[in-house]
Chains A and B, each alone.
Chain A
Amino acid sequence: MMDLFLSVLAALNEFSTTSSPIDFMLILRHGGLFLEGLINSFTLVALSFTLAALFALPMAVLKWGRVPVAMHAVSAFVYIFRGTPLLVQAYLIYYGLAQFDDLRDSIAWTVLKDPWWCVLIALTINSTAYQVEIYRGGLEAVPHGEIEATKAIGLGKLAALRHIIIPSALRRCFPMTGNEMIFLLHGSAIASTLTITDILGAGRQLNSEFYLAYEGFLAATLIYMTVIISLTKFLNFIEKGIMGHIQLTSPTPNVLP
């Protein structure tokens, strides 16, 4: 039994290294590398998205509520960090900050010298800027009448935001929020340019070690696709759950004859 298995394995190896256009056994032998990459990517994206959401929602409320001074600060922040590519921001944090002697001597350096933290900070700040605009769009879309009803019933501003306005706004902008998660996953690929082994980093490593371009990057592509398809399915499931209050205008879709 074991012999059969080993001989099949040997045959596959033989096929893979010589005649197959893609050396798939090489990829499988480096499964651990890709797993490390997957874990790194996942952690970076999940953490940065969550942190960004925690910052972005209050900022969006400040801008939507037209709170004096704060709304301008938020706008400036959004301008700056949507106005430059994520890669440039990451380089500025990782390479650029190292230039300042004072910074290198300070306690912040313990964090900032580590590329992982630099990438996390870059991803978080960048995603915050985009999420502010997404949530603000959701808030603007809440019907003004529903907001008036919260006033008429004597609900204070904070309570109205917490119980009525924000839940309504988040439901409205949910598809865009899902989009941002996926873009963040794409963007996290910059981590590989800063020496971190994420999904792409694993692919690059394979490439640089064996000079086989397709194997490494194809594997990375497949992993990204699998993660994104799973994420999309999960987001669709959530969307069905939270949008149950919407009535379709007709029971069947309007199809042109």
Chain B
Amino acid sequence: MKSLTDHANSPQMIARDIRKSFGEVEVLKGISLEAGQGDVISILGSSGSGKSTFLRCLNFLETPDSGHIEIVGQAIDILPGKSRVTLKNEAEMIRKIRTQTGFVFQNFNLWAHLTVLENVIWGPIHVLGLSRAEATERGAALLDRVGIHAKKDSFPAFLSGGQQQRVAIARALAMEPALLLFDEPTSALDPELVGEVLKVMRSLADEGRTMLIVTHEMAFARDVSSRLLFLHKGMIELEGTPEKVFQRGHSERFDQFVASIQH
């Protein structure tokens, strides 16, 4: 029988030796990461370093070639050379993992023909089995939390990018996931809209949520994260607290990367 403290300290996410190739190109060369409750881990790296691919492997939007992934106790081992046909209960496990990982996309990916509120309550109703009334209550509260309640009956096309991304965050939160995954959430936004989304993400971090964020926002990453990860060509180049990672001299590649970002 696990005690409460055990549960609080057990990792929310374990990824071990994740490898992924696209055709001939090996994008991930064995990434391992563990995230505990309340960890906010920012993943940095230049394009092609594999950071988005790694994030997408965690909820099986990409299937890794090999490795071990465990989310809140649900574990899947991907053995190298395994046939493409997945077993029935593995598909079910992947589905369970996906309900525990809230994913926020770079391009928001809201469902265009549904209103803002419908976008948020669809998951709870059709995946979690909530009644429409319960889901609406939850959804309305979350939309209020991200500051979009006034637009709940609008369609996504009528909202700005920043507003759409906040709706996307509310949609992910509505599933009450253990882990939040952000794939370059502000990269597709106009600069003046970036702030409103970062504000929401900061408040989520302050709340103690477990978050993995792939981002180019260096100042934000430095400020909000408990840990930073710097990927280079599919491998972890640097890992540690923001102070440690940003100390000059640790890695030439990282210093070059930081310099190239700031222009």
Contacts and interface: CB of A to CB of B under 8 A. Distances in A.
A168 B109 contact: no
A149 B167 CA distance: 13
Interface string A114-158: 000000000000000000000000000001011011011111100
Nearest to B91: A156
Interface in B85-114: 95-96, 98-99, 101, 103, 105, 107-114
Contact of B113 (A148, A153, A171): A171
A164 interface: yes
Given A145-B105, A244-B155, A245-B155, A151 B113 contact: no
Nearest to B123: A153
B127 A154 contact: yes
B218 interface: no
A148 B105 contact: yes
A155 B111 contact: no
B241 to A, nearest CB: 29
A154 B113 contact: no
A254 interface: no
B33 interface: no
Nearest to B174: A153
Nearest to B159: A247
Helix, strand, loop or mixed for chain A's interface? Answer: helix
Given A244-B155, A247-B158, A155 B109 contact: no
A152 B157 CA distance: 21
B166 interface: no
A154 B61 contact: no
A148 B155 contact: no
A167 interface: yes
Nearest to A170: B113
Interface in B168-188: 171-172, 175
B112 A154 contact: no
Interface of B: 59, 61, 95-96, 98-99, 101, 103, 105, 107-114, 122-123, 126-127, 155-158, 171-172, 175
21 contacts: A145-B109, A146-B109, A146-B111, A148-B105, A148-B109, A149-B110, A149-B111, A151-B98, A153-B98, A153-B171, A153-B175, A154-B96, A155-B123, A155-B126, A164-B114, A245-B112, A245-B113, A245-B114, A245-B156, A246-B112, A247-B157
Given A152-B101, A246-B112, 6 more contacts: A145-B109, A146-B110, A149-B110, A153-B127, A159-B127, A168-B113
Per CB-CB distance, the 4 closest pairs between chain A and chain B, nearest first, are A247-B157, A154-B99, A145-B109, A245-B155
